[in-house]
């Protein structure tokens, strides 16, 4: 694979930002299989980081470059800080950036496809919520979505865990910068709610992407995962796969399950 570290100006954000990009390469050194090299424009996986990390983390904590080496698949890993991949109430429009501007820019810089059947999005924790919402709000953009150790995080009975809502951003909790409130349970049923957006798109007759959802049985976000699983259970028209396995909110778990997700894509 070829690895690119890219810095560029994003109009949606009004500032420079960073992504890491993995591109297929037919010939490698010793010990790594090359890709088929049969594509003029490669399918792409947008791989999203969690709240504690940035665009470098998948490369640092997993072997993602090796996992995709034999696949005709590009991987784009963007940086979004503590934005929750949202169009923030007091901050940049990260949802528009991820779903609209970033694919266009990547296709200008690299031989990456923007066709819906060639675009996939996945992430862990905060990135899992970002992937879930991107898939439900813009189903026409993606063929498949991966949600690792996450779900619709508004549906948690325990809001005391020190997650993103309590992390400082400009002197206020990050959740206030994003949503205008610390109590995210109040966002259920609003324009921020991925379930609401999914229901609206289903009512409009839009075809949903496939969803792959996994959570560890010891993960503190298991309740959100169950609430999300139950919502999809009400919509059998969506191709949805849910799995649980022993594990917590750890990189050992995500390193294992990103490999399972790549196999599930069947590229």
A 10 A CB-CB count for 89 gives 13
Bridge partners (DSSP) of residue 21 are 4, 76
How far apart are the C-alpha atoms of 67 and 263, rounded to whole Å?
10
The total number of residues shown for the chain amounts to 267
Cα–Cα nearest to 103, from 41, 184, 59 = 41
Residues in CB range of 223: below 8 A, 6 or more apart: 155, 156, 157, 158
How far apart are the C-alpha atoms of 174 and 178, rounded to whole Å?
6
DSSP state of 87: B
- To the nearest 10°, the Cα dihedral for 62, 97, 211, 89? 110
- C-alpha Rg value of the chain to the nearest Å: 18
CB 92 within 8 Å of CB 12: yes
The CATH code of the domain at 2-265 is: 3.40.50.1820
**Model confidence, pTM:** 0.95
Q: From the first residue on, what is the mean pLDDT of each consecutive set of 10 residues in the chain (267 residues)? A: 96 98 84 78 97 96 95 97 95 97 98 98 98 98 98 80 55 85 92 98 98 97 96 98 98 98 96
Tokens of 1: 């694979």
What local confidence, expressed as pLDDT, does residue 171 receive?
A: 64
What local confidence, expressed as pLDDT, does residue 167 receive?
A: 61
What local confidence, expressed as pLDDT, does residue 31 receive?
A: 76
How far apart are the C-alpha atoms of 243 and 263, rounded to whole Å?
14
């Amino acid at each position: 694979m070829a690895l690119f570290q890219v810095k560029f100006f994003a109009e949606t954000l009004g500032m420079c930002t960073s992504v890491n990009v993995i591109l297929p390469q037919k010939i490698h050194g010793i010990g790594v299989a090359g890709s088929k090299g049969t594509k003029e424009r490669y399918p792409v996986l947008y791989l999203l980081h969690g709240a504690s990390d940035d665009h470098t983390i998948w490369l640092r904590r997993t072997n993602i470059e090796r996992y995709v080496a034999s696949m005709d698949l590009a991987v784009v890993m963007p940086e979004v800080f503590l934005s929750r991949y949202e169009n923030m109430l007091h901050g940049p429009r990260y949802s528009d950036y991820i779903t609209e501007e970033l694919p266009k820019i990547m296709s200008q810089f690299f031989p990456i496809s923007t066709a819906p059947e060639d675009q996939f999005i996945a992430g862990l924790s905060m990135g899992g919520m970002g992937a879930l919402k991107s898939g439900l709000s813009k189903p026409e953009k993606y063929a498949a979505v991966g949600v690792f150790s996450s779900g619709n995080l508004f549906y948690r009975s325990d809001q005391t865990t020190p997650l993103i809502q309590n992390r400082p951003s400009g002197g206020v909790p990050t959740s206030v910068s994003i949503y205008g409130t610390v109590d995210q349970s109040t966002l259920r049923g609003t324009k921020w709610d991925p379930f609401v957006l999914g229901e609206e798109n289903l009512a409009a007759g839009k075809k949903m992407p496939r969803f792959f959802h996994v959570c560890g049985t010891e993960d503190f976000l298991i309740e959100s995962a169950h609430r999300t699983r139950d919502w999809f259970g009400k919509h059998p028209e969506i191709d949805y796969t849910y799995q649980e396995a022993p594990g917590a909110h750890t990189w050992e778990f995500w390193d294992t399950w990103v490999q399972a997700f790549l196999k599930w894509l069947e590229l």
